[in-house]
């Protein structure tokens, strides 16, 4: 397999994995679980942001927040910096 074909395959798989992850977030949202990016509740149209790597090298990391009962309550995505 040529380098260009490998890169295309890698990109295809990456997009597929992102799509599957975003579908999962939508299912959580349908169950009443809040999805927050940078502290603000967001819509499914904004989920793509969590896959971005910013010019300063920052990226988003997920944090799964449970209620006192142990049930998932919220999912937070906050920007972190790799230094």
**What's the number of domains the chain is made of?**
1
- DSSP bridge pairs for 41: 36
Q: How far is CA 18 from CA 23, 41, 48, 54, in A?
A: 9, 20, 8, 17
Domain hosting residue 55, numbered range: 3-80
Q: What digits encode the pLDDT tens for the residues 57-72?
A: 899 999 999 999 989 9
CA distance 30 to 26: 6
pLDDT at 83 (0 to 100): 65
The predicted model scores a pTM of 0.83
């Amino acid at each position: 397999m040529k380098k260009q074909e490998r890169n295309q395959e890698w990109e295809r798989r990456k997009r597929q994995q992102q799509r599957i992850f975003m579908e999962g977030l939508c299912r959580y949202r349908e169950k009443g679980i809040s999805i927050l990016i940078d502290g603000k509740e967001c819509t499914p149209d904004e989920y793509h942001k969590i896959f971005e790597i910013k010019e300063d090298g920052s990226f988003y990391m997920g944090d799964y927040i449970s209620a006192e009962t142990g049930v998932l309550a919220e999912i937070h995505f906050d920007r972190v910096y790799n230094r």
